[in-house]
């Protein structure tokens, strides 16, 4: 998938929108400027990891069913996290388990892991990685909306402008004409009869 000029314009608009939206802190939030920048830079690292997951996932989803992809991803992820979890529980214990804690964990497992990855891996079969990747820019917008509903955090004019830029970038990407992907030829060998 080649990056088109429209992609570059949309990336600039979306990143600018995220910067405006992320820099829109209400008066009730006390956070130092340098901490905000450090946090923003740290967040970039998993974005690259997610991009690689999407690119590899696109190739894998063409060959394997999304259920197998999710199963193997979760199994490998669990195996990699297990040593750290064992060490943490050995030094700090298992923590206090309450009904609320268990409910939050079940929500994270189902909504943020199983359903999210299932939908994402399914979508990679249908849309290009570049288009799917752009939808990630809706995360800060949805976060701002949920923060407003749950915590009454309000956006000022910069936050609204940032939200608008993100939507403009998404509209540019989603409204462009998609090239038809040619169907793959059969892998069965073709026999050619040569007349002598």
Predicted pLDDT at 30: 61
Output b/e per residue, 34-70; b: 16+ Cβ within 10 A.
eeeeeeeeeeeeeeeeeeebbeebbebbeeeebeebb
Q: 54 and 129 in contact (C-beta within 8 Å)?
A: yes
pTM: 0.58
Predicted pLDDT at 189: 45
Element (H, E) at 68: helix 66-92
Nearest to 144 by CA among 35, 52, 30, 25: 25
Nearest to 11 by CA among 138, 157, 170, 179: 170
The tokens describing 69, both together, are 């992809």
Q: Residue 168: is its pLDDT beyond 80? A: yes
Eight-state DSSP code of residue 3: P
Q: 17 and 164 in contact (C-beta within 8 Å)?
A: yes
Q: 31 and 25 in contact (C-beta within 8 Å)?
A: yes
Q: Among 84-93, 115-124, 147-156, which stretch is predicted with the lowest mean pLDDT?
A: 147-156
Q: Residue 55: is its pLDDT beyond 50? A: yes
Q: Among 10-19, 125-134, 168-177, 181-190, which stretch is predicted with the lowest mean pLDDT?
A: 181-190
* HSE value, Cβ hemisphere, 13 Å, CA-based, for 98: 3
Q: 56 and 38 in contact (C-beta within 8 Å)?
A: no
What average pLDDT does this structure show over 51-72?
A: 84
Domain limits, the chain: 1-62+125-177, 66-123
Eight-state DSSP code of residue 45: H
d(CA 30, CA 123): 39
pLDDT band for 25, please (50, 70, 90 cuts): low
Per-residue H/E/C for 135-185: HHHHHHHHHHHHHHHHHCCCCCHHHHHHHHHHHHHHHHHHHCCCCCCCCCC
Q: 162 and 21 in contact (C-beta within 8 Å)?
A: yes
């Amino acid at each position: 998938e080649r990056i088109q000029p429209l992609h570059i314009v949309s990336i600039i608009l979306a990143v600018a929108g995220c910067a405006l939206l992320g820099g829109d802190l209400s008066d009730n939030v006390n956070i130092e400027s340098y901490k905000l920048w450090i946090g923003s830079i740290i967040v970039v690292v998993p974005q690259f990891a997610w991009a690689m997951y999407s690119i590899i996932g696109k190739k894998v989803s063409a060959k394997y069913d999304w259920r197998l992809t999710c199963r193997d991803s979760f199994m490998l992820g669990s195996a990699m996290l297990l040593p750290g979890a064992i060490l943490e529980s050995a030094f700090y214990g298992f923590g206090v388990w309450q009904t609320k804690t268990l409910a939050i964990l079940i929500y994270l497992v189902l909504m943020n892991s199983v359903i999210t990855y299932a939908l994402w891996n399914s979508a990679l079969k249908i849309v290009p990685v570049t288009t799917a990747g752009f939808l990630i820019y809706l995360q800060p917008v949805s976060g701002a909306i949920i923060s407003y509903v749950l915590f009454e955090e309000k956006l000022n004019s910069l936050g609204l402008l940032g939200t608008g830029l993100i939507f403009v970038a998404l509209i540019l990407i989603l409204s462009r004409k998609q090239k038809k992907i040619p169907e793959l030829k059969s892998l069965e060998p073709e026999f050619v009869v040569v007349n002598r």
